[in-house]
Chains A and B, each alone.
Chain A
């Protein structure tokens, strides 16, 4: 009897996923949102999410999370870990979406284009990656919420492995998965920067020079290291470091740009825009490649009771503000300035 019920649950779960996939395929095939389609953006997000998952989780943990999402049902502490994996995957998709937009934005501004209309078009296209990231994050949050609910029902408050529960063996820092994740992510960023893959005609300045605005790199790295040292070791300290430095850099850039408008100084506005874009790229990169994997290992190793509320707040806030600031940056670029009479 129990076996039949278990099989029907699994079949229902598989049907639900198939229905969702068919719906997405139908929407894409309908051509209704053809203007919102970016193959490069979609591939970047999918492969980036896979690489980010490998940076923070082991093969066994990823496999268990997929089995739990398919309705396997395990021990409460295992369910809690799987719920955390899906939450982390949603977080990675959201951060990667905003990172992709900022990354592409910098490359578009550094690239060669036949005209101003083409530059504007490409700038707006950069924002599509954030939209994809948001949609993917929502999709990935569904299994997270579902499995967390099951863990709660099974007697665990949807978070950490209990004190009595068997802790998983701590994975070494230089594991095969992690190395593969980092190498894959680096390759993905390099491929994304290639003009042919982005569909750009040519580059005016090399991608590395477009992304590396010296002052922004110094502020983000210096601020993140300083805050992480003062806040104490661990993933949460790095999350705080990268996120707050990123937010400070965004605000500093905006204020400088506004002063540039007051002084009608294009050079000042351009410096501020370069600072905003470059700082957001490095802050989000630090968040997804340094802070998040460290937090994931701490939670999966049983060192922490799930993600902290401050970390969760920053994971949502920084990508959102990056998106808003990129829109503001676009407006600042296209807004003409006139000298006061």
Chain B
């Protein structure tokens, strides 16, 4: 596309020729071993870290709490709409019935 790219193979050849014996084979082998070891350790520790980080990020995500709170609100309203029975409800009903019977007795 551009004219600048046509000179690239020539420059590459020139660089290869000029730097052909820059790196001794032992050093190259050593570097390759090191890179391989680094990759291995990275691959070993990789699965554990993202799990913890992801779980924490998920727990502190605003949208999770927003969804959870709205779910709680809706669940509470729906439960209350269904006239729930509970120890306090039963006790209040008993008190109210007692008051009603008291009124009937007076009459």
Q: Is the interface of B mostly helix, strand, loop or mixed?
A: helix
Q: Do A215 and B84 have beta carbons less than 8 Å apart?
A: yes
Give the bracket for the number of chain B residues in contact with chain A. Answer: 35 or more
Q: Do B69 and A225 have beta carbons less than 8 Å apart?
A: yes
Q: Do A119 and B95 have beta carbons less than 8 Å apart?
A: yes
Chain B proximity of A332: nearest CB distance (Å): 8
- Partner pick for B93 among A110, A223, A270, A275, CB 8 A cutoff: A270
The residue of chain A having its C-beta at the shortest distance from the C-beta of B86 within the complex is A213
The residue of chain A having its C-beta at the shortest distance from the C-beta of B74 within the complex is A222
Q: Do B99 and A229 have beta carbons less than 8 Å apart?
A: no
Q: Do A268 and B83 have beta carbons less than 8 Å apart?
A: yes
The residue of chain B having its C-beta at the shortest distance from the C-beta of A219 within the complex is B76
- Partner pick for A267 among B66, B69, B72, B93, CB 8 A cutoff: B93
- Partner pick for A270 among B70, B80, B96, CB 8 A cutoff: B96
Q: Do B91 and A217 have beta carbons less than 8 Å apart?
A: no
Give the bracket for the number of chain A residues in contact with chain B. Answer: 35 or more
- Partner pick for A230 among B66, B72, B73, B104, CB 8 A cutoff: B66
21 contacts between A and B (CB under 8 A): A109-B92, A110-B87, A209-B86, A210-B88, A219-B76, A219-B77, A220-B76, A222-B68, A222-B72, A223-B73, A224-B69, A229-B69, A230-B66, A252-B77, A253-B80, A265-B83, A267-B85, A271-B85, A271-B89, A274-B92, A337-B96
Can you name 20 extra interface pairs (CB under 8 A) apart from A267-B83, A267-B85?
A: A109-B91, A204-B91, A209-B88, A213-B86, A217-B76, A219-B73, A222-B70, A222-B73, A225-B72, A229-B62, A229-B65, A230-B66, A269-B92, A270-B93, A270-B96, A271-B80, A271-B85, A333-B95, A333-B96, A336-B104
Binding site for B on A (CB under 8 A): 106, 109-110, 116, 119, 204-205, 209-211, 213-226, 229-230, 245, 252-253, 256, 265-271, 273-275, 277-278, 333-337
What 4 pairs across the A-B complex have the smallest Cβ distances?
A222-B72, A218-B76, A222-B73, A219-B76
